[in-house]
Amino acid sequence: MNAPSTATQLRKEPVPCVACGSKSRIGRGLCLTCLLSEGFDAETCNDETLDSELASVDVRDADWRLGNYQILEEIGRGGMGVIYRARQRHSRRIVAVKRILTYHADSQETLMRFRREAEAAAKLDHPNILPIYEVGMNEDGFPSFSMKFAAGGSLVDAAPALRNEPRRSVRLMAKVARAVQYAHDQGILHRDLKPGNILLDGRGEPLVSDFGLAKWLDRTSDLTQTLTIFGTPGYIAPEQASGPASKLTPAADIYSLGAILVDLVTGRPPFLGENALAVVQQAAEKPAPKLRSLAPTLDRDLETICAKCLEREPGARYHFAGALAEDLES
């Protein structure tokens, strides 16, 4: 029997670095940057030192590349695309690259939606919206785009830790609401806000991502009218599942923000059900449960804020995401 290796083992699933919070597969619990930091003099080590040392290391590129990007690993996939952690070859910057799934290549509707996501996100320049770096077509003819790599994962990953810190959750969601207000000011409605689409950078700052269902508020689109995907049950507004997309207003995103906040502070979205249809029906037919019925120790003012976000009638919700942010901040 071979003796067990003494080398650092890689985990199957990444976990937050104990020093900086970024995701790592290294068994000792530190990401590569923090491991390197420990090897330098703590007083002289900085980002420039690390970047200089990393750039001097002769690492042979992997065989798989997408355009100007060396693909390092798959980090996620959804209904229409797959996302990779990648290295931009000329700058060596670590980025995320989203590429359309191969079996969607013949779907004009999906191609239009994919391009729509890139177009919508590239139009937005806000510190709490995931930035798009480059949009292009690969050698295989499939579209892709690169964006900032969110080292902290998503709110799905962070939720267990946030559940015991309601004030931190509130501050985080206030920033998300500000970012959503900015998107609305640019004429863009997200339509699929959920914990998995709120990413976190290495410092824990939120980044709104995935504008694949985005709708321009100032124009009608055939794509918007024909899409058969309406968002994620549990987080979408009742009118989003039952009415025409052309009638949606910013109130739909505000409902989603309220549902995410409820999830963060209670551990569940406002409505649960055996299947997606059951969840959608509950949201359309029943008032949302009071926050303190799910978590009695939470603040009464927070309960009032959540209730206003989750009103069944769009006109009864906050009229602006910025107004929600103000209440959360106060």
- Annotated catalytic residues are 192
Which residues touch 207 (CB under 8 Å, ≥6 apart)?
Answer: 128, 129, 130, 148, 150, 198, 199, 200, 201
> What three-state secondary structure class fits 201?
coil
Hey, what are 233's tokens?
Answer: 């049950």
CB burial of 212-224 (b: ≥16 within 10 Å; e: otherwise) equals: bbbbbeeeeeebb
CB 200 within 8 A of CB 210: no
CA 75, 123, 172 angle in degrees (round to 5)? 60
* CA 87/CA 95 separation, integer angstroms: 6
Return the sign of the alpha-carbon dihedral for residues 38, 32, 147, 235.
negative
> How many Cα atoms are found within 13 Å in the side-chain-facing hemisphere of 234?
16
Name residue 78's amino acid. Answer: G
CB 22 within 8 A of CB 31: yes
Enumerate long-range contacts of 299-304, CB under 8 Å, 24 or more apart.
Answer: 299/166, 302/166, 302/170, 302/265
* CA 66/CA 72 separation, integer angstroms: 11
Between β-strands 132-137 and 143-148, what pairing exists: parallel, antiparallel or unpaired?
antiparallel
Task: Classify burial at 57, counting beta carbons within 10 Å of its beta carbon; exposed 0-12, middle 13-18, buried 19 or more.
Answer: exposed
Residue 198's CB is within 10 A of a number of other CB atoms, namely 27
Question: Which stretch of DSSP H or E encloses residue 134?
Answer: strand 132-137
